[in-house]
Amino acid sequence: MEIQEKIIEKTLLLVALSSIMILGLITFFIFEEGLPLMWKIGLRAFILGERWVPSQGSFGILPMIACSFWVTIGALALGIPLGLACAIFLCEWTPPLAAMVLRPAIQLLAAIPSVIYGFWGLIVLVPLVRNYLGGPGLSILSGSLILGFMILPTIISISEDSLNALPPSYKQGALALGATHWQTIWRVLVPAARSGIVTSIILGMGRAIGETMAMIMILGNAVKMPTSFLDSARTLTTNIGIEMGYASGDHRHALFATGVVLFIIIMLLNSMAIFLSRRRGG
């Protein structure tokens, strides 16, 4: 039995190390392809430049960075209150029979392909925005609304787990002191689960920044600095997805450099989520 356990242990260790190795190889490849272009034109010119015209040797990605954050902020403005409200409702007020329907339905949202979200937004949401709010309809607002729904499963599931993980004594003590049910939720339970809720928001933010297909279909793909949520836009991910198929030379390296910037942003967000999760566990 000891020999079998050691074999299983070494096998699992090898699998874990292979996953880390694959991540390391991907990271090495992206940085190897992208960093030379960043050094060639200058880090400042690449990140803070506002012109993206590869045919003329201009590779400024500031408009795409700005658009990525505009879309993400818009998605969070919808996803955070709606997701937190759903998590609280599932934890505190949902009847058992309704919970059997709602929880699988929320999980199903995460399983829907992003192209389906994009197609629905293109057919339904974009005309509504164009007809009632103005602009081309293919806009940051449309993309934000779609992303807001796409990040809901992440925010709801992690926030709900955080609330359910709290000791029952928190709620019992607040109610015993005369607090109402809502005061107990808002003043005691939500602050106590704050680390887990913030983690869900950060992971949702990473999901929003990394989305590609739905944004290609909805944003309009205009390379310019945004001035309004009704403007068309292009994010870092959509820029890579649209142009990688025909890029070559410095243009191709510039897209990999865009991937480097995106990779660093996502890693920073994930590191924040891990830090907050460990802090919560401690």
How far is 275 from 131, CA to CA, in rounded Å?
Answer: 44
pLDDT of residue 154: 92
Of the CA atoms within 13 Å of residue 120, those in its CB half-sphere come to: 11
What confidence score (pLDDT) does residue 102 get?
87
pLDDT at residue number 280: 54
Q: Any idea what the Cα angle at residue 37 is, between residues 33 and 40, rounded to 5°?
A: 145
Cβ count near 1 (within 10 Å): 5
CA 209 to chain centre: 5
In this prediction the pTM is 0.88
pLDDT score for 30: 92
Tell me, what's the pLDDT at 1?
A: 60
Mark the ranges of the chain whose per-residue pLDDT is less than 50.
282
Task: Decide: 120 and 217 in contact? Cβ < 8 Å.
Answer: no
Q: How far apart are CA 211 and CA 152, in angstroms?
A: 14
* Beta-bridge partner residues of 59: 52
The three state secondary structure string of the chain is CHHHHHHHHHHHHHHHHHHHHHHHHHHHHHHHHHHHHHHHHCHHHHHHCCCEEHHHCEECCHHHHHHHHHHHHHHHHHHHHHHHHHHHHHHHCCCHHHHHHHHHHHHHHHHCCHHHHHHHHHHHHHHHHHHHCCCCCCCHHHHHHHHHHHCHHHHHHHHHHHHHCCCHHHHHHHHHCCCCHHHHHHHHHHHHCHHHHHHHHHHHHHHHHHCCHHHHHHCECCCCCCCCCCCCECCHHHHHHHHCCCCCCHHHHHHHHHHHHHHHHHHHHHHHHHHHHHHHHC
